[in-house]
Each structure stands twice: as C-alpha cells, then as structure tokens.
Amino acid sequence: MSILKSFLALVLLAILCTPLTAQENFTFKVIVNKGKNEFKSGVTWQPIKVGASLLKSDELRLSENSYIGLMHTSGKPLELKHSGKYKVVDLANKMSGGTSVISKYTDFILSSSENPKNTLKATGAVHRGSNITLYLPVSDQALIFNDEITFGWDKDKIPGPYEVVFNSLFEDELHHIETTDNVVSVNMNDPSLSNEDNIIVYVISKSDPNKVSERYSLRRLSKADNERIKSQLQEYNLNVDENSALNKLYLASFFEENSLLIDAATALQEAIKLEPEVPFYQDAYQGFLIRNGLKK
C-alpha cells in the first residue's frame, strides 16, 4: 500500500508541476530577425535564429541597424530596433495583457517563413491571367472588413503610369486614382464609395490603354459578420490600430484564416511600409500571394 501511495503522490506532483513547466518553456519566441544579433544563454554568446526560444535568464545583443521581432509567452508582440544589450527578464517585465490563443499564429508565421505555401485555411482563390494581373481574390472571396485597403498588381511586363477605376455594379464610375506605382490604397469611406456595398475595380495602363486588367469585386462584410470579426479581434487581443510591423503580421494571419484576403494583404503592405529595410515582411507578402493563388 505504501508503494501505491508513493506512486500516486508522484503522479499528483507531476500533474501539479506540468503547467509551471509549460510556462517555463520560453519567455519570448524570435519571429523576425535582421542583422548580426546574438543571445547569451549561460556564458556563451551565439547567433539568433528565427524560431529560437528565449528564457528569462537569457540576454540579447543587437548590432547596428538591426531589428528583432519577438512574441511574448502572453501573446504580445515586441520589436527591438536599437543596438545594445537587453536582459530578457527586463523585457518580460514590461509585457502585459495578451492571450495564448495567438500562439497558433506564431506557429503559422514561423512555418511559413520556411515554406511559403503553408496555409491556415484553404481559400479557393485562383490566379487569373490577364494583361495586368491584380493581386485580388475572386468575387466570392473579395470581402472587406477594414475601411482602408491596399492592393497591388504585376507591373513587370506593363509599366506605369496607371489609372485605377472604381465602378458601381451598373458600371457608373465612382472614383479613380492615378499612380506611377503598382500599389494603391483607398479609403472605402470616401464619399464617392461609402454608399456602395459592392464595387468593381480594374486597372488601365496610361501608356497603353489597351492594357487593362480584368474587373474585380470589392464587397463589404455584412453587419453581422463585421461584428463577429470585431469580437474575435478583441478576444485575441489583436489591435487593428497598433502601428508596428510585427502586429500587422499577426493581423494578416488572422485575416487570412478568416478568408479576408484583401485585409490580410493590406496588413502585410502596411508592415512593409513600417519596416522597408526588413526583408522578412516582403517575403511574407510574396508567400501570402503565392499560397492563396493570387500570384504565380
């Protein structure tokens, strides 16, 4: 009987200790790394790699013109941009809030950096050949949550300038934008667009009017679906307005999982604008386009 009691005591002890052990597996995960950065675990400095786990006892050393994107165990992102040494315990003490639910997006982001074709959810989008190929999904996937959207197109064979035309379903022109770039942003609350739930968009080459894209749809979410997405964003503690590239990366993963591909692309474009010198975000955008069939 004493042996059985001892065994049961050991099992109970293991169960009680398991949550603590799981929590001690890491304090931060390295999501993005640019530069010759290092971390010290014990007495030895070693290069930082994407996906590495950092413990409270570890220390970071950033080189000049470097960037590191970290995810805290609580689910809060943290960016480091200034050279110098950082104690992980000090960084951890500044973190608050967050949710462990976001960890699934961490796993997805890390796996996608190794294999861009990985996907959270099958979208059914397809690449459509045309004179100008817009990086937008097919009509039934062209739903929009946010007011501000950004989308691009292939300019390799057809250089600018371009005219981006927004029409009603009855082909009445609502709005147009002229640009020399192959990326455009538009506010869907613009007075010319705010009263339309379904909008047709296409791009014309100003240098050759015969070069024109197919017509694509932009469709606002229903009120019920909009509230559902807002509720999930709050549940996951994802802040749409937080202006950091790492936060935009997590928002993009969330939107992609919910088949909001236009919002996901917008978040990735915003991440690129915030950190244009960090190749990771450009690679993440290209991987997103490829795995969702928006680009060959």
For the stretch 42-62, pLDDT in tens is 889 999 999 999 999 999 999
Instruction: Tell me what the mean pLDDT of segment 246-269 comes to.
Output: 95
Say if residue 42 is in the same domain as residue 127.
Answer: no
So what's the pLDDT on residue 235? 84
Instruction: Tell me what the mean pLDDT of segment 113-127 comes to.
Output: 55
So what's the pLDDT on residue 104? 76
Closest CA to 91 of 28, 141, 148: 28
Task: Indicate the range of 18-22, 33-37, 143-147, 250-254 predicted with least confidence.
Answer: 18-22
Rounded Cα distance between 225 and 113, Å, is 30
Say if residue 291 is in the same domain as residue 267.
Answer: yes
So what's the pLDDT on residue 216? 96
How many domains does the structure of the chain reveal? Answer: 2
24 exposure class (CB count in 10 Å sphere: 0-12, 13-18, 19+): exposed
Say if residue 232 is in the same domain as residue 116.
Answer: yes
Say if residue 64 is in the same domain as residue 16.
Answer: yes
Say if residue 73 is in the same domain as residue 159.
Answer: no
Rounded Cα distance between 23 and 77, Å, is 17
Rounded Cα distance between 282 and 272, Å, is 6
pLDDT band at 3 (very low <50, low <70, confident <90, very high): low
Question: 175 or 105, which is more confident?
Answer: 175
Say if residue 116 is in the same domain as residue 244.
Answer: yes
Rounded Cα distance between 152 and 150, Å, is 7
| Entry pTM | 0.84
Say if residue 46 is in the same domain as residue 179.
Answer: no
Instruction: Tell me what the mean pLDDT of segment 75-84 comes to.
Output: 92
* pLDDT at position 137 over 90: yes
Q: Which of 98, 126, 148 is the last residue of a domain?
A: 98
Q: Would you say 129 and 246 are in contact if contact means Cβ atoms under 8 Å apart?
A: no
Residue 39 β-bridge partners = 46, 60
Q: Which of 51, 69, 98 is the last residue of a domain?
A: 98
So what's the pLDDT on residue 98? 58
Q: Which of 64, 98, 132 is the last residue of a domain?
A: 98
* pLDDT at position 119 over 80: no
* pLDDT at position 208 over 50: yes
Instruction: Tell me what the mean pLDDT of segment 228-235 comes to.
Output: 92
3 state DSSP class of 125: coil
pLDDT band at 100 (very low <50, low <70, confident <90, very high): low
Say if residue 118 is in the same domain as residue 64.
Answer: no
pLDDT digits (tens, 9 = 90+) for 150-191: 999 988 878 889 999 999 999 999 999 999 999 999 999 999
Say if residue 55 is in the same domain as residue 124.
Answer: no
What residue numbers bound the domain in which 66 lies? Answer: 2-98
Say if residue 191 is in the same domain as residue 170.
Answer: yes
Instruction: Tell me what the mean pLDDT of segment 209-230 comes to.
Output: 94
So what's the pLDDT on residue 90? 96
